[in-house]
Amino acid sequence: MSTRVLVNGSDDARIAVSDRGLLYGDGLFETIRFVRGVAPLWSRHMQRLREGCARLGLAAPDAGQLAAEARHVLDGDADAVVRITVTRGTGERGYAPSATLAGTRIVAAFALPALPADWYRHGIRVRSCGLRLARQPRLAGIKHLNRLEQVLARMEWSDPDRVEGLLFDTDENLVCATAANVFGVLDGVPVTPALDQCGVAGVLRAELLEAFPDTRVGVVTKEASMRMDEMFLCSSVRGVLPVREVDGRPLRIGAATRAAQSHWRALGFDGARE
């Protein structure tokens, strides 16, 4: 499919060079997977967008308008990814924003990534990244536009057999992968890192925490992450990916991972390309 874009509802998809999203990363985005024309996690995406806008002092766009624009850019494609970007808008140079700025709203549709079915059945290999995530509680959890840490981390390897990289903070605690959240089983207990200092709180992560309330959310040290019996990654686009190897250490694909995959399919993603 060709990429289709609306900017502030217009097919004239041009962005001003003075837009603060471009100049300063002053904004947020959501990447939403549609299956058979439906986005099973839409409400969670809208909730996170509203919370992120409140955190940054941005006017939250109307969810109904976003839904209509998503349908427009999908243009009949039942299976696609829609990215919604919200910036503070266009204004004078300088960090201090004007109180009268009108935000910029970008809605674009992209083809689904083609992922091997083997990844979901037999798992993926991951590595630890050298880059350390900076701790900034004011931005922790939200999906703001500045993703330079993830870009630099992803530049650390080119081996296609290593699908993802684990990211740790400056205190050597596990946070996430470059484009996914991390769950694991440690000493028989399901765990996932707390994201109150850095990292993105994914919508599928929130869904799985509600579905599996016995999961412990807290500090997971690097040492503890390397002792996990089981690990899986999750994201709203790629779903639940079992991890079969971390830094050369094999892991089993166990009941926690398969239960998360079953829940993912039960949400309505059973027709997804897996």
pLDDT category, 108, cuts 50, 70, 90?
very high
Q: How far is CA 77 from the centre of its chain?
A: 22
pLDDT category, 36, cuts 50, 70, 90?
very high
Considering the domain architecture, whether residues 85 and 160 belong to the same structural domain is answered as: no
Q: Are 116 and 123 in contact (CB under 8 A)?
A: no
Strands (E), 52-161: 80-87, 104-110, 124-133
Report whether pLDDT(270) > 80: no
Report whether pLDDT(93) > 90: no
Provide the number of structural domains found in the chain: 2
Query: Which one of 80, 110, 140 terminates a domain?
Result: 110
Report d(CA 41, CA 198) in Å as an integer: 23
Considering the domain architecture, whether residues 126 and 254 belong to the same structural domain is answered as: yes
Predicted pLDDT of residue 168: 98
Considering the domain architecture, whether residues 136 and 214 belong to the same structural domain is answered as: yes
Average the pLDDT over 235-262 and give the result. 97
Considering the domain architecture, whether residues 43 and 163 belong to the same structural domain is answered as: no
Predicted pLDDT of residue 5: 96
Residue-averaged pLDDT of the chain:
95
The pTM for the full model equals: 0.94
Query: Which one of 110, 133, 166 terminates a domain?
Result: 110
Do the strands 249-250 and 189-193 form a parallel or antiparallel pair, or are they unpaired?
A: unpaired
pLDDT category, 273, cuts 50, 70, 90?
very low
Considering the domain architecture, whether residues 78 and 125 belong to the same structural domain is answered as: no
Considering the domain architecture, whether residues 143 and 264 belong to the same structural domain is answered as: yes
Closest to 177 measured CA to CA, from 245, 129, 144: 129
pLDDT category, 214, cuts 50, 70, 90?
very high
Average the pLDDT over 217-236 and give the result. 97
- Domain limits at 179? 117-271
CA distances from 144 to 15, 80, 110, 164, 178 (A): 18, 22, 20, 21, 14
Buried b (16+ CB within 10 A) or exposed e, 200-228: bbbbbbbbbbeeeeebeeeebeeebbeeb
Instruction: State the CATH number of the domain containing residue 210.
Output: 3.20.10.10
Average the pLDDT over 125-132 and give the result. 98
- Which one has a higher pLDDT value, 273 or 64? 64
Judged on CB neighbours under 10 Å (0-12, 13-18, 19+), 56 is: middle
Dig out the tokens for 216 from the structure. Answer: 């412990």
**Residues present in the chain in total:** 274
Average the pLDDT over 100-124 and give the result. 93
Residue type, 48: R
Predicted pLDDT of residue 12: 87
pLDDT tens per residue across span 146-185:
999 999 999 999 999 999 999 999 999 999 999 999 999 9
Considering the domain architecture, whether residues 36 and 95 belong to the same structural domain is answered as: yes
Report d(CA 224, CA 228) in Å as an integer: 7
Buried b (16+ CB within 10 A) or exposed e, 85-112: bbbbbbbeeeeebeeebebbbbbbbbeb
pLDDT category, 272, cuts 50, 70, 90?
very low
Query: SS3 for 202-231, per residue?
Result: CHHHHHHHHHCCCCEEECCEHHHHCCCCEE
pLDDT tens per residue across span 47-75:
999 999 999 999 999 999 999 999 999 99
Considering the domain architecture, whether residues 146 and 64 belong to the same structural domain is answered as: no
Predicted pLDDT of residue 78: 86
Strands (E), 35-136: 80-87, 104-110, 124-133
Considering the domain architecture, whether residues 12 and 130 belong to the same structural domain is answered as: no
Considering the domain architecture, whether residues 106 and 122 belong to the same structural domain is answered as: no
Q: Are 269 and 40 in contact (CB under 8 A)?
A: yes
Considering the domain architecture, whether residues 96 and 171 belong to the same structural domain is answered as: no
Considering the domain architecture, whether residues 182 and 244 belong to the same structural domain is answered as: yes
Q: Are 1 and 111 in contact (CB under 8 A)?
A: yes
Instruction: State the CATH number of the domain containing residue 57.
Output: 3.30.470.10
Query: Which one of 72, 87, 110 terminates a domain?
Result: 110
